[in-house]
Amino acid sequence: MLNFTYQSLPSRVRFGRGTISELGSELDKLGCRRAMVVASAPQAAHAQLLREQLGGACAGAFTRAAMHTPTELTQEALTEVARLGVDGIVAIGGGSAIGLSKAIALHTDLPQLVIPTTYAGSEMTPILGQTESGIKTTQRSPRVLPETVIYDVELTYSLPLAMSVASGINAMAHAVEALYASDTNPVVAQMAEAGIAALYRSLPALRTGAADPEVRGQALYGSWMSAMCLASTSMGLHHKLCHTLGGALNLPHAETHTIVLPHAIAYNAPSVRDAVDVIKRAMGGGGIAGRIHDIASSCDVPVALRDIGMRESDIDKVTDLVMSKPYANPRPLDAGLIRRLLTNAWSGLRPDHSTYL
């Protein structure tokens, strides 16, 4: 007999094509009359379209969201929230915009409506990651969980191939680590397998089907399922490494996840045979770490940390940071193996099942 706990989260999801047209009615359901649009600078055009669509229901916009959610930027956004008399947040974009929206909500408890344009998955989680003085920390709080999420497949058509694949592998990482989390359960395992399978099918297909509604729909669905896994479980080595690399070195978020995931899988594989079997089933065969590495490489996504700004001299620094704060992981952390993992990821080595034996 199964014995487990599954905690569902109170969020509303609207998924489909053209669903952005329902923004006004969804905002009405939240009781928002003076919303502030939040975006990063590259999404400023999207932010302007939302302002025009909302009309009088939009009090203004803050379009300087940045990756890793620097706390000083959050303070600037909070000042604008107070000045405008905002009663809700509408965030559009990827992890930068959604992260800032969550940080605002943490301090104000304002309702959030978020519209993802990438596959990062932050929109479905009660998790906030933010950076202060070069250190990235995370916390869980129901205050930061967005009340409403609008997934519009059409908003992802123009997402460049490399960014799409990096973002999708970032999402896949959430599902992979949920399979061997200390608090996993059969419900999460079903979502994880569905998410990995959808992403594994769709990401390579984007090379020739970037504007194919079915391909984009599968990728967005896979990212949603994977994000639900992240929301429901704790994470392990992969996320610890990526948060450390991002916070300490300011490396790009999705690309860091893409490079590290195959190595984290290979590291943990000897201790999580059941999880490996699920991933094999989702991908239709073995060699799962190498398969993920190959998807990135074939789509011109970086597979080496040195190609996204990490110096070889940073390897020891990051190893020390990772080892300095113990956390749950199915395979105990070994400083020598962690250093080897970082060295391999820095150089772009294609890992296999024997790399970290």
CATH of the domain at 318: 1.20.1090.10
Domain identity same for 152 and 170: no
Domain identity same for 69 and 135: yes
Domain identity same for 204 and 266: yes
Measured CA to CA in angstroms, residue 274 lies from 1, 271, 280, 291, 325 at distances of: 18, 9, 10, 18, 27
Given pLDDT bands bounded at 50, 70 and 90, which one contains residue 87?
Answer: very high
Neighbouring-strand partners of residue 112: 89
Domain identity same for 71 and 190: no
CA quadruple 141, 146, 147, 153: dihedral sign: negative
10 Å CB burial of residue 205 (0-12, 13-18, 19+) is middle
Please give the tally of structural domains in the chain.
Answer: 2
Q: Which two tokens stand for residue 256?
A: 């860091």
pLDDT tens digits for range 283-319: 999 999 999 999 999 999 999 999 999 999 999 999 9
pLDDT tens digits for range 145-193: 999 999 999 999 999 999 999 999 999 999 999 999 999 999 999 999 9
**Residue 61 within any structural domain of the chain:** yes
| Longest pairwise C-alpha distance within the chain | 61
**Residue 357 within any structural domain of the chain:** no
Our CA angle for 228, 12, 10, nearest 5°, is 65
Enclosing domain of residue 20: 12-156
Instruction: Write down which residue in 88, 122, 156 finishes a domain.
Output: 156
Domain identity same for 103 and 174: no
**Residue 4 within any structural domain of the chain:** no
Domain identity same for 191 and 307: yes
Q: Which of 67, 131, 126 is nearest to 96 (CA)?
A: 67
Domain identity same for 107 and 212: no
Q: What is the pTM of this model?
A: 0.92
Domain identity same for 265 and 120: no
**Residue 3 within any structural domain of the chain:** no
Domain identity same for 123 and 209: no
Residue 223 and residue 119 in contact, taking contact as beta carbons nearer than 8 Å: yes
pLDDT score, position 1: 56
**Residue 355 within any structural domain of the chain:** no
pLDDT tens digits for range 132-158: 988 888 899 999 999 999 999 999 999
Domain identity same for 82 and 193: no
Q: Which two tokens stand for residue 302?
A: 């970086």
Q: Which of 240, 253, 259 is nearest to 345 (CA)?
A: 259
Rounded-to-integer distance, Cα 139 and Cα 126, Å: 8
Provide the 10 A C-beta neighbour count for residue 294.
Answer: 15
Q: What is the CATH number of the domain that holds 101?
A: 3.40.50.1970
Instruction: Write down which residue in 156, 190, 217 finishes a domain.
Output: 156
